[in-house]
Amino acid sequence: MQDPNSGDIWVNDCAAMNNGNPLFPTDVPIVLPVSTPVKMGGSIAATGWWDSQKVVTSVFWHSVNGTIVNAIYNCDNESGTFVRMGPEYVISETANVKNSSIHENTGLAVELLGSTAGYRVFYHDNNSQVQELFYTQKTNWNYGGIVSQDPVASFALGTAHSSTDNITVAFPRSDKDIEVSRFNSDKTWHISTFPESLENSPTNKTDTSKIEIDPKAEANFTLPAWDGAPSGMGVAIDSTFTRSVFYIGTDRLLHEVSNINFQWKLYPNQTSEAWPEADEANADLAVTYNFQSSEAWIYYVSGGSLVQAYRGTSGDWSSAVVVSVNSIDDKTTSNVDGKKSSGLSTGAKAGVGVAVSIGVLAIAGLGLFFFLR
């Protein structure tokens, strides 16, 4: 997450855990070294892998120059800090994307498809449309084209993939609907919405004037506490290929809508122990998942602390835990409702509140790549 005063990016200790959960120091934060500063309140996205000896992470950010920048970091297993490997790459310029065409409030999301298929990075252009950059083993960074010609209602972006030819991008369409653009084996992005449905079967080649809600198709649910302006969205896919979209609503509660057999279904809210109330309405969140095991982790701020909600291999949600800020933290990560720890220090609570409101929780989600090895 981003320090709202300095603009520094705070990250977790990449070589340590506490009680089986990520360690995120705040009194003496671990700062990600960058040469090109991140825009204050700018979007950050990251992915990573374990190379049999250490964690490697690839971080993307919207810079003060309006560019999209990428850098690779190795985890120093002794200090728990990240060491940049090689230069920073201004990937938007390499892909011949003009700075002026990138929206000043762009969201960012990244999917790592594998060592050969490479990266897919998603961002917003000045028309509030979702665009794609791509990198493969055989190419440098290139412009991948438009994901949907439909302009977004706000700049939250949730992405996930189950294969190189099965990528999902979700974003707010209106104060009623979420739009999903899905890349299939026919190499085309297919567009749908929920809970309302679209007329015909639009793709990313369909003009925005022809992407319309079907007035004859009645929605079978409404999105709870949804006004089309969440600070963050996340997507997780389980081993049965069920896709789940998560957001925090105007009621400060976490909500889940899942696609089962090509039908979107609203899931009931979990208990307050599993999904504690967020500190802010429409709060930011970070989601990561393990496709093979069906596990999912969600991070957001509750009670002034960064909390982790966890879905296990059975599909059940455990009680949420407070992410530890100390290397030796006794029972502080046991249970959010236990109130055995204040989680973050008073100063850190204030900083996190600002940081989350401006959409920089992506690094929190990054921690799961570090510990699932």
Residue 183 included in any domain = yes
Print the domain residue range for 86: 10-371
Q: What is the DSSP string of 226-253?
A: --S--S-EEEEE-TT--EEEEEE-TTS-
Number of domains the chain contains: 1
Compute CA distances 176 → 1, 158, 208, 247, whole Å: 29, 17, 17, 14
Residue 1 included in any domain = no
Residue 3 included in any domain = no
Residue 119 included in any domain = yes
Q: pLDDT below 50 — which residues of the chain? A: 329-334, 339-373
Query: DSSP H helical segments within 126-210, as ranges?
Result: none
Residue type, position 199, single letter? E
What pLDDT does 50 receive? Answer: 85
Residue 103 included in any domain = yes
Q: What is the DSSP string of 41-66?
A: T--EEEEEEE-SSSEEEEEEEEBTTS
What pLDDT does 79 receive? Answer: 92
**What is the spatial distance between Cα 244 and Cα 264, in angstroms, rounded to a whole number?**
9
Residue 36 included in any domain = yes
Please tell me the number of Cα atoms within 13 Å of 301 on its side-chain side: 27
What pLDDT does 372 receive? Answer: 31
Q: What is the DSSP string of 289-302?
A: EETTTTEEEEEEEE
Compute CA distances 243 → 177, 289, 332, whole Å: 17, 11, 32
pTM over 0.85: yes
* CATH number of the domain bearing residue 217: 2.120.10.70
Residue 28 included in any domain = yes
Residue type, position 317, single letter? W
**What is the spatial distance between Cα 24 and Cα 28, in angstroms, rounded to a whole number?**
10
Residue 17 included in any domain = yes
